[in-house]
Structure 1
Amino acid sequence: MFRRTFWFTTGVAAGVWATTKVNRKLKQLTPESLAATAANKALETGQRLRDRAVGFAVDVRDNMAQREVELGEALGIDVDPALPAPRRHTAMENNRSNPKYIENTTYSYNRNEDH
């Protein structure tokens, strides 16, 4: 009697366990779940890439400052690494895509004017 009860209980437990596993796997394979998993993986990958890019940029900046100091010492120029280098700006008045340039410039369409 106990033997039958034991095997019956074991069979029920195995059936419940197998059913639960199959249902979990089926829920993981629904389109909504697959889309959410893909979105999460994409976000994680983007975060990792951004962290690596930031780390790379910091390394480049540090090495650039170190190299500027080395070059300054080699050339006898006193360079303060704490101060940022002066920025070079492009001449906006020569940029044809700049609306101010287009507004302030008069164009001659007479082909014979220069001759």
Structure 2
Amino acid sequence: MFRRAFWFTAGAAAGVWATTKVNRQLKKLTPESLAAQAADKAVEAGHRLKDFALDVKAGMSQREDELNDALGLHQDPDRPDNVTALPGPRRLRAIQHDKTTPLNVTYNRNEDH
């Protein structure tokens, strides 16, 4: 008698558990639930994209500061608009021409086409 009652109770509990599990899965597959899941994933992807953009912006700013330090470009605190001061002009190398080419002849690469 106890054996039958035990197996009847175990079977009923397994049936309730399986029915609950199936109903939860069916609710996840309704159109409303799928739309809500897609919206949540889109919001999550948007947050990740925003974080990535902020990381890229911070990296760009850091690299720009490193390059400015390496090139000697520093902001002058005396200037009211904080415009970055550029280094002085560079010397131009002498252009060497062979003696057969006249100096006033220019070459337009679009003339050949």
Q: Same fold (TM over 0.5)?
A: yes
Q: Which has the larger radius of gyration?
A: 2
- Structure with a larger share of its residues in helix: 1
**Matched residue pairs, number?**
81
CA distance in 2, matches of 1:8, 1:47: 51
3-state DSSP of counterpart to 1:54: helix
Identity of aligned residues (%): 53
Name the structure 1 match of 2:83: 86
| 1:70-81 to 2 correspondences below 5 Å | 70-72=70-72, 79-80=74-75
Gaps of 5+ in 2: 85-113
Name the structure 2 match of 1:47: 47
Give a deviation string over 1:5-53, Cα, whole Å, max 9, x none.
0000000000000000010001000000000000000110110111011
Instruction: Give me the CA root mean square deviation.
Output: 2.3
TM-score, normalization by structure 1: 0.64
Would you say the 8 A contact 2:76–2:83 is kept in 1?
no
Gaps of 5+ in 1: 88-115
CA distance in 1, matches of 2:8, 2:76: 79
| 1:7-86 to 2 correspondences below 5 Å | 7-72=7-72, 79-80=74-75, 86=83
TM-score, normalization by structure 2: 0.65
> Structure 1 residues 5, 48: CA separation in 2 closer, same or farther (over 3 Å shift)?
same
